[in-house]
Chain A
Amino acid sequence: MSPSPRLQVESGRVVLSGEWTLAALVPQLREVEAQLAGGRLAGLPWDLSSVSRLDSAAAVLLWRTWNESWPRDLVVSEMHRRALERAATMAPAATVAASPTSGPVVRLGYLVLALLDNLRALIILYGQMLLDLGHLVLHPSEIPWREIAANIYKAGAMALPVTALVGFLIGVTISYLSALQLRNFGADVFIVNILGISIIRELGPVLVAVLVAGRSGSAMTAQIGVMRVTEEIDALSAMGVSRSIRVVLPKLLALTAVMPLLVLWASAIALLGGMVSALLQLGIPFAYFVENLQRAVPVANLVIGLGKGLVFGFIIAWVACHFGLRVKPNTESLSANTTTSVVTAITLVILVDAVFAIMTRNMGIPQL
C-alpha cells in the first residue's frame, strides 16, 4: 500500500523516510517506538527531507521523542514543519488529577442527599398534579382526553394478554402446591379459602403491579426521557403547551384508572387457573368452588385488592414520570433512570403493600 515509515541512523544523522502517518505507523508501531525510545536520538541531527507525508499523530510522536524541544539541527520541508509546529504549540498536557475516591461515610451522605432530593421532587410533582387537576376542573375544555385514552389503551388494553397468562399460571401453581399439602390433612375444601384470600387480597394486585411497572412504567420513563433528550419537552413549552398537563397528567390518570381493572382481570383469571387445578387434583367441581368462594372470602377483600390496584397504579406512574423528567440529555442517563424507575416503583409497591397489610389487618378475615 503506502511506503512504510523508515528510520535510519546514517553517520550520526537520523534520517526519516517514507510515510509518517497514523495509518502507516499502526502496523509497525512496536518497532518504530523501540527505535525511538531511550532518548539516544534526541541530541542527533534529524533529516526529515525525504518524508513523503507527516500527519499530526506522527508529529506528536516525534515531538515526544525530542523531549518537547526542537533538535539543534533539523532538516524538514516547510510543509511538514507546520505539522510539527502545531504539535509543538500544544502545551504539555497537564495530567488530569484523578478525582479522589470518597470514603463510605461520604458516599452514604451523598446517597441520603440524593434520596431527599428525589423525595422533594416527587412531592413537587404531586403538588403540580393537584394544581393541574384544579386547573382542569376550572377549564374542562383543556382536559387531554386523547392522551388519556391513548395511555389507557397502551397501559391497559395491551396488557391484558400478559397479565392473563401470568395470572393463570400463578393460579395453577399455587393451587397445585396447596392441594398437595391439604390432601395430607384431609382439608381439601379449604383450597377455596386459601386461593380466594391470597389471590384477591394479595397476589393479584402485587403481581399486576410488578408486571405493569416493568411494562408501562419503563415505557413511560423512556418516553419522557427521550422527549428530554431530543428537546421535544422544550418544544412543547415553547408552543405554550403545559408539559405536565399534556405529558405527565394523562399517564398518571390513565394508569390509576386502569390498574384496578387489570387487578380484577388478573385475579379472576388466576382464580380460574386455581379452579382448574383444584378440579384436576382434588376433584372439586367449579360450581362448588364458586359457591364457597362467596362464603369464604368476605367482599372486603375485593375492596382491599382493588384499592391496592388504584394506589399501586398511581405510584408506578408517579415514579415513572418523576424519573423520566430527571433524564439528562444523554443515553447513559436515559438507561440509568429507566432502571431506577422500575426498581423504585416495585420497591415502593411492596413497601406500600406492607403498610396496607398492617392497616387492614382486622378487615375481611372470615370468622369460621
Chain B
Amino acid sequence: MNGATSAVVEMRGLSTLIGDRYVHRDLDLRVMAGQIVGLIGGSGSGKTTLLRQILGLLRPAAGSVNLFGEDLAVAHPVAQRAMLRRLGMLFQGGALFSALPVFDNIAFPLRELKCLDDDWIRRLVHLKLAMVELEPGHGKLMPAELSGGMVKRVALARALALEPELLLLDEPTAGLDPDRSRSFADLLRELQRELGLTVIMVTHDLDTLARLATHVAVLAEQRIVEFGPLADVMAGDHPLVAAFRGGGQTKVL
C-alpha cells in the first residue's frame, strides 16, 4: 500500500455539470499514494467542486472518478462507506456540527466505529486537539464560540480523527496566522512521513504550498492545465502560475 505505484485518486475525462453550466470538462488527474498535491486555481474555478466529486457528493456528467482504485459511483453502498472511512475531508467553511461541542465533533467519527472505549476516544481526541495546537479545555466550547481560525483547526482535527490514508483539505490555512500555518505544514509533513498520507489540498497560500506540496495541479479553463512536481510547475510560465507567484510574493512580504 505504501509504494508510490498505486493511484489513490484517478479522474479520467471527468465532466461536471451544475445546472446547465460545465464546471469541469474532460478533466484528467492522477494522484499517487504519498503525494501531497496542492490544487490551485482562480476563485470559482471549481476546486471545491472537484473535491466534492472525489467524495462522491456529485455525480460526473461524463468520465469517471476512481478512489483507491475503485469507481465510487458504481460501488456497493457498504463498500462506498468503507472507502469514505479511509479519507478525511476538511470543508472550506469547517462544516462542524453546530449542535455538538468541539470534543464531540472530533469524537463523532471515532464513536461511529462503535468499537473504541471511552478512555481511548478521550485520549485520541485530546491528542488530535494537541496536534492542531488546541487545549483540552477547548473541547467544551461550541462551534459558534470559536474564532475563524479555531474552526479551521477543529475541522482539521476532525478530518484527522480516523487516521485517514487520504486527506482532502479545502483551504486549510485560510484564517490561520503565519506561525500556525507553518506548524500546520510541519504537522502534515510529519504525518505524511510516518503514515504515507496522501493529501490533496486547495490553497491560495504560496508559503504553505512551497513548504508542503510535493506536486501542484493547476485548475483553469475547466480542466487541469498543469500537473507535476512543485518545482517544475512553479517554474512554468502558465499565466495563472505566474500570477500566483507574483501575488504570493506580495502576500508573503
Residue ranges of A at the interface with B (Cβ–Cβ < 8 Å): 1-2, 21-23, 26, 29, 52-57, 60-61, 63-64, 79-80, 82-83, 86-87, 89-90, 93, 229, 328-333
* B12 lies within 8 A of chain A by Cβ: no
**Apart from A21-B195, A64-B123: 10 A-B pairs, beta carbons within 8 A:** A2-B1, A22-B163, A26-B115, A56-B128, A57-B163, A61-B120, A90-B126, A90-B127, A229-B98, A330-B144
B99 touches A332 (CB 8 A): yes
* B165 lies within 8 A of chain A by Cβ: yes
* B7 lies within 8 A of chain A by Cβ: no
Min CB gap B124→A, angstroms: 6
B127 touches A53 (CB 8 A): no
A90 touches B130 (CB 8 A): yes
Instruction: Specify the chain A residue showing the minimal Cβ separation from B85.
Output: A23
B120 touches A64 (CB 8 A): yes
* B196 lies within 8 A of chain A by Cβ: yes
- One digit per residue, 1 when the CB lies within 8 angstroms of any chain A CB and 0 when it does not, for chain B 13-42 equals 000000000000000000000000000000
Q: Which of A26, A54, A328 contacts B113 (CB 8 A)?
A: A26
A93 touches B195 (CB 8 A): no
A82 touches B98 (CB 8 A): no
B99 touches A90 (CB 8 A): no
Instruction: Specify the chain B residue showing the minimal Cβ separation from A335.
Output: B99
A90 touches B115 (CB 8 A): no
B162 touches A22 (CB 8 A): yes
In the bound complex, CA of A333 to CA of B113 (Å) = 27
Q: Which of B99, B113, B127 contacts A87 (CB 8 A)?
A: B127
In the bound complex, CA of A63 to CA of B123 (Å) = 10
In the bound complex, CA of A63 to CA of B120 (Å) = 10
**Contact A86:B126 (CB < 8 A) given known A54-B194, A55-B195, A93-B136:** no
| Cβ contacts under 8 Å, A89 to chain B | 130
| Cβ contacts under 8 Å, A87 to chain B | 123, 127
Residue ranges of B at the interface with A (Cβ–Cβ < 8 Å): 1-2, 85-86, 97-99, 113, 115-116, 119-120, 122-124, 126-128, 130-131, 136, 142-144, 162-163, 165, 190, 193-196
B124 touches A57 (CB 8 A): yes
Q: Which of B85, B190, B196 contacts A53 (CB 8 A)?
A: B196
Q: Which of B115, B163, B193 contacts A79 (CB 8 A)?
A: B193
Q: Which of A1, A79, A90 contacts B1 (CB 8 A)?
A: A1
In the bound complex, CA of A60 to CA of B1 (Å) = 23
Instruction: Specify the chain B residue showing the minimal Cβ separation from A328.
Output: B144
B122 touches A93 (CB 8 A): yes
B86 touches A23 (CB 8 A): yes
Chain B interface helix/strand/loop/mixed: helix
Min CB gap A104→B, angstroms: 27
In the bound complex, CA of A60 to CA of B120 (Å) = 7
B120 touches A79 (CB 8 A): no
In the bound complex, CA of A332 to CA of B97 (Å) = 10
In the bound complex, CA of A53 to CA of B2 (Å) = 9
In the bound complex, CA of A332 to CA of B98 (Å) = 8
Min CB gap A204→B, angstroms: 40
In the bound complex, CA of A77 to CA of B67 (Å) = 31
| Cβ contacts under 8 Å, A53 to chain B | 2, 194-196
| Cβ contacts under 8 Å, B119 to chain A | 64, 93
In the bound complex, CA of A93 to CA of B124 (Å) = 10
| Cβ contacts under 8 Å, B116 to chain A | 57
A-B pairs, 9 with minimum CB distance = A332-B99, A330-B98, A329-B144, A55-B163, A22-B163, A330-B99, A93-B122, A60-B123, A331-B99
Instruction: Specify the chain A residue showing the minimal Cβ separation from B190.
Output: A82
CB<8 Å pairs between A and B, sample of 22: A2-B1, A21-B163, A23-B162, A52-B2, A53-B196, A56-B127, A56-B131, A56-B163, A60-B124, A64-B120, A64-B123, A82-B194, A86-B127, A86-B130, A328-B142, A328-B144, A329-B144, A330-B142, A330-B143, A330-B144, A332-B98, A333-B99
| Cβ contacts under 8 Å, B196 to chain A | 53
| Cβ contacts under 8 Å, A79 to chain B | 193-194
**Contact A23:B163 (CB < 8 A) given known A29-B115, A79-B194, A82-B190:** yes
**Contact A329:B120 (CB < 8 A) given known A26-B113, A54-B194:** no
Min CB gap A48→B, angstroms: 13
Instruction: Specify the chain B residue showing the minimal Cβ separation from A52.
Output: B2
**Contact A86:B131 (CB < 8 A) given known A53-B194, A56-B163:** yes
| Cβ contacts under 8 Å, B99 to chain A | 330-333
Instruction: Specify the chain B residue showing the minimal Cβ separation from A3.
Output: B1
In the bound complex, CA of A1 to CA of B85 (Å) = 15
In the bound complex, CA of A23 to CA of B116 (Å) = 12
Instruction: Specify the chain B residue showing the minimal Cβ separation from A93.
Output: B122
In the bound complex, CA of A21 to CA of B196 (Å) = 12
**Contact A23:B120 (CB < 8 A) given known A60-B127, A86-B131, A89-B130:** no
Min CB gap A161→B, angstroms: 31
| Cβ contacts under 8 Å, A331 to chain B | 97-99
Instruction: Specify the chain B residue showing the minimal Cβ separation from A56.
Output: B127
| Cβ contacts under 8 Å, B85 to chain A | 23
Min CB gap B218→A, angstroms: 32
In the bound complex, CA of A117 to CA of B219 (Å) = 54
| Cβ contacts under 8 Å, A86 to chain B | 127, 130-131
| Cβ contacts under 8 Å, B143 to chain A | 330
